[in-house]
A and B are shown apart, each in its own frame.
Chain A
Amino acid sequence: MTWVAFLIPALFLALFLFALFKKVKLYDCFTEGIKEALPLAASLFPYLAAILMLSALFEQSGLSQRITAFLTPAFRVLGIPAEISPLVLIKPFSGSGSTALLSEIFSSYGADSYIGRCASVAYGSSETVFYISAVYFAGLKKKHLLRPTAIALFANFLGVVLGCLFCRFL
């Protein structure tokens, strides 16, 4: 395990001791915070359901494979190995889907191969953009989603191109 494992209990311990010192009523205060959890999760639910249904359709209909086949030659020109192009395409839609693809790549080509390393960097340097945009812009009255979502997708894609390049040297 990493340092994060120690960090989380240490943070809670430090905060709760400090709060006691400041005479905060811990139980009352902690439950008051939790009150907001249910409305928050409920406000996200319709957006999560729509996005995850869309991701399932995208993956299971074969559309993602077709788009991958279509884009792979272009990806290769940019230095992205053909083997990781499904990962690059699924990552913006689905965290669990891309994690499964990453493990598959590791077991087929080895985690220390060039392909395995490229896949690691592609996975680690990008985010599930559509999912985050659904969550962060859930319930806003005014929605200008297209521009920020396009910016994030574009930046993440160039990051993958650059990451594959770095993997050749680093």
Chain B
Amino acid sequence: MNGIFALIFILSCALFLFTDPNGFLSAMLSGGEKAVALTLSLLAVYCVWLGFFKVLEKSGLAASLSRATMPATRRLFRSSDQEALTLAGGNLVANFLGLPGAPTPLGIRAVRKFSDAGNDFAAEMLFVLNATSLQLLPTTVIALRLSAGSSSPADIFLPTLLATLFTTLLGAGLVFLLRRRK
């Protein structure tokens, strides 16, 4: 990541220097402003879902949900850390349902727990599952197609689902094959 950051940063910077020296600072600032705005909107989203999750936990439902997903998540992540597996299972369920913003706080905490326990395989697996899209219904695309006047906005459902399944299986398979041998 440090390498990619340096490479893209230096190339972009050099291009700005030769083509549009005034644009550099305004581009940096526009990125910074986006980050400030995004952090605030994420904060609002986390308030909603972290409140929801705490109620889920205190009511005892989180424990029952985690018992239901445990057989699958235990194998997938090769971990026996109940708390981390509960978080990871919740992350996957929220992804499938397409609840906007809900998977992230669960996923971040699960990755931190896996990594602290030295289980890099599980941390990488959870990241790759999230980064290859697990959403069953591409709601954003369908809404955009509808507003662009498409005659059949949900038409792309099947090819998208097949492509998503493929990327997720390929990603998970690669994490499994390329894992660091102990």
Contacts and interface: CB of A to CB of B under 8 A. Distances in A.
Interface of A: 2-4, 7-8, 11-12, 15-16, 18-19, 22, 24, 26, 29-34, 36-38, 40-41, 44-45, 48-63, 66, 96, 99, 102-103, 106-107, 110-112, 116-117, 120-121, 123-127, 129-130, 132-133, 135-149, 151-152, 154-156, 158-160, 162-163, 166-167, 170
B54 A52 contact: no
Contacts of B153: 111
A31 to B, nearest CB: 7
B104 A135 contact: yes
Nearest to B174: A151
A2 B146 CA distance: 12
B71 interface: no
A152 B131 contact: yes
Interface of B: 1, 3-5, 8-9, 11-13, 15-16, 19-20, 23-24, 26-28, 30-32, 34-36, 38-39, 42-43, 46-47, 50-56, 58-61, 97-100, 104-105, 107-108, 111-112, 115-116, 120, 123-124, 126-128, 130-133, 135, 137-142, 144-145, 148-153, 155-156, 158-160, 162-164, 166-168, 170-171, 174-175, 178
A61 B159 contact: no
A7 to B, nearest CB: 7
Contact of A33 (B53, B98, B175): B53
Contacts, number: 300
A145 to B, nearest CB: 4
Q: Which 7 A-B pairs have the closest CB atoms?
A: A33-B54, A56-B31, A53-B31, A124-B138, A159-B167, A106-B148, A125-B163
Contacts of B28: 53, 56-57
B61 A126 contact: no
B127 A107 contact: no
Contact of B51 (A34, A40, A48): A34
B159 A170 contact: yes
Given A33-B50, A117-B156, A149-B1, A57 B167 contact: no
Contact of A4 (B50, B97, B155, B160): B97
Which secondary structure characterizes the binding site on chain B?
A: helix
Given A61-B12, A155-B128, A166-B158, 18 more contacts: A4-B97, A7-B99, A16-B55, A33-B52, A44-B108, A53-B27, A56-B27, A57-B24, A60-B23, A61-B19, A61-B24, A61-B27, A117-B159, A126-B132, A140-B111, A148-B131, A152-B128, A156-B133
Nearest to B5: A54
29 contacts: A8-B99, A34-B47, A37-B50, A40-B50, A41-B46, A48-B38, A49-B32, A53-B28, A56-B30, A57-B12, A63-B11, A117-B156, A121-B159, A123-B138, A123-B141, A124-B156, A125-B164, A129-B131, A133-B131, A141-B115, A144-B124, A147-B178, A148-B124, A148-B128, A151-B174, A152-B131, A156-B132, A159-B132, A166-B158
